[in-house]
Amino acid sequence: DAGITQSPRYKITETGRQVTLMCHQTWSHSYMFWYRQDLGHGLRLIYYSAAADITDKGEVPDGYVVSRSKTENFPLTLESATRSQTSVYFCASSDGGAIETQYFGPGTRLLVL
């Protein structure tokens, strides 16, 4: 099916473990984004990518790593998970340019114990 998908949808992990959240889009959009959503903070940008092999930090990048070897995939890795990284993570994509709409995935709920 076309669109933007995220996996897993739910994840429970322990402090200190490495976790990778996957994001896949079928539109060949050039831009992809990772946000976290927390109560009282709205959405905060973690990282974004303008094209394959081009990534840049957002508002809250510490503790996260991204890569973009293919246009359609944009995985987000928590190298050593902390409780403060318990959140809902959303991936989004857009067709580039400042005026383009972002399309969001369904989200991944991550609980770090």
Partner 1 sequence: AQSVAQPEDQVNVAEGNPLTVKCTYSVSGNPYLFWYVQYPNRGLQFLLKYITGDNLVKGSYGFEAEFNKSQTSFHLKKPSALVSDSALYFCAVRYAGKSTFGDGTTLTVKP
CB nearer to partner 1: give 56 or 79. Answer: 56
Nearer to partner 1, 3 or 16 (CB): 3
- The binder of partner 1 chosen from 73, 86, 103, 111 (CB under 8 A): 103
Among 6, 19, 35, residue whose Cα is nearest residue 83: 19
> Which contacts qualify for 35-44: CB closer than 8 Å, 24 or more apart?
35/89, 35/90, 35/91, 35/92, 36/60, 36/85, 36/87, 36/88, 36/89, 36/90, 37/87, 37/88, 37/89, 37/90, 37/107, 38/87, 38/88, 43/90
> Exactly one of 21, 60, 78, 92 binds partner 1 (CB under 8 A); which one?
92
Distance CA 67, CA 44 (A): 19
| Total site size for partner 1, rule CB under 8 A | 22
**One of 45, 52, 65, 111 touching partner 1 (CB under 8 A):** 45
Residue of 34, 47, 74, 90 that binds partner 1 (CB under 8 A) = 90
Binding of partner 1 at residue 22 (CB under 8 A)?
no
Interacting residue ranges for partner 1, rule: CB under 8 A: 33, 35, 40-45, 48, 50, 58, 90, 92, 98-99, 101-107
